[in-house]
Structure 1
């Protein structure tokens, strides 16, 4: 038996795109359909969604309890007064986002771990088309799922707040959509990093550093220049987008653009690695 046939074949990303990118994979629509099927065929998607639901319910309830208790304790300095349910929802994002971004990173790191990235690249040799299809699916799934997460947060927080909460319909819907938009972009950011780093552990570490540790470290000395640098990081920019704080260093729309820029940069980095390295 000739063992040479068992050796792995080197895959050149750019060569594959030029040779078969226009002939294999059914175009972008076919690639999206394939990624959609794969997304719902892996158990990690369902586990991440379940974890997100539980985290949202628990976090929203906890923050609502804190707000209600602060208004009824013996220290009037703690009283936040009547708060919107949307503010409780936005406060829950910092923790819940880690369940949601797992959907994005596992959409590609699971393929590198299992080796199924090779058949994916044979079906869709164009690295750009493959990654774009994954981004479309991850964005759509995380956005839709996050609308449901938002509804869960609102449903849990409102009765817990009682007289200390208000639920303006238009504002609450806007907050839910804003949270879903933030989660979708964070999911795409995780996808891009997953394509570049190819390891769920490395991606989680990079996201934890980028979303939380580095910005906190920059703002700790209370130096204006470092504060402005921290304001450009995705988690901080997303926070300014969600809260639309008039005292923020830039408008909410700028925060959204900064977050989208991080997601686009991560996808570009992932595409660059996919084109240069073997599957």
Structure 2
């Protein structure tokens, strides 16, 4: 319990956490407005035979998080890599000599924070996009809540996975690069392939599973299976990080 309290204090007493959130809020707002204006423009400049359709505001949150997830991942990884950069990891390991408890304490603190982080970003994107879209926005309550919770879940899974990788890589640049590739670049590239095996591989990566989960896509895997894949990546990343920490800093 003391380790959890210590991690909570460290998280909110460094400027990087607040700067990260501020940057995410700004980026989310701009993207939400862009998507909203884009929807309004498309519906008012239809091609012959096309029909205008409203869009649920929750969809703006789901779309925006697929880009802002890199910023959320940075928030999670900095809880680990910043300690290696400053050397404060030595004090952390002295105060909590059982290595798995160090990883567990950070995960316990990060999980609810990342969930709320995801909810906040989805909410901002939904409101900004909905206002920009005007009459083309669908503000249905139940769907909106489901979309918010879905984004919160994905932000939590992606963030915990990134934190686990941070224990392995230990550098901010290296971890952010790995997260950027696995959460965004590689799944996006593989999803565009004409080869089914590559599409399957992309869908089983954390970013691909997240996209399937948030968009409700059933090909090649269902949203439910995608959620299971996300949990597996998060747990696997933390388990790998615990193992590496225990062996390198025994």
Q: TM-score, normalized by length of structure 2?
A: 0.95
Structure 1 residue 219: Cα displacement: 3.5
Aligned residue number for residue 136 of structure 1: 108
* Aligned equivalent of 1:258, options 225, 229, 238: 229
Measured in 2, the distance between the counterparts of 1:239 and 1:202 equals 23
Structure 1 residue 213: Cα displacement: 2.4
Structure 2: segments with no counterpart, 5+ residues: none
Which portions of structure 1, spanning 4 or more consecutive aligned residues, are displaced by more than 6 angstroms?
none
- Of the structure 1 ranges 213-222 and 174-183, higher mean CA displacement relative to structure 2 is found in 213-222
Shift of the 77–111 alpha-carbon distance from structure 1 to 2, 3 Å rule, reads farther
Whether 1:69 aligns to 2:36 is no
Aligned residue number for residue 99 of structure 2: 127
3-state DSSP class of the match of 2:237?
helix
Measured in 1, the distance between the counterparts of 2:193 and 2:114 equals 35
Structure 1 residue 74: Cα displacement: 4.8
CA RMSD of aligned residues (A): 1.6
CA contact (8 A) 2:57 2:127 kept: no
Q: Deviations along 1:89-111, whole A, 9 cap, x unmatched?
A: 11111211111111110001000
How many residues are paired up?
250
* Bigger Rg, structure 1 or 2: 1
Whether 1:271 aligns to 2:237 is no
Q: Deviations along 1:222-243, whole A, 9 cap, x unmatched?
A: 1111111111011110111112
CA contact (8 A) 2:61 2:123 kept: no
Whether 1:204 aligns to 2:176 is yes
Measured in 2, the distance between the counterparts of 1:205 and 1:193 equals 11
Structure 1 residue 250: Cα displacement: 2.3
Q: TM-score, normalized by length of structure 1?
A: 0.85
Aligned residue number for residue 240 of structure 1: 212
3-state DSSP class of the match of 1:262?
helix
CA contact (8 A) 1:232 1:258 kept: yes
Shift of the 77–70 alpha-carbon distance from structure 1 to 2, 3 Å rule, reads farther
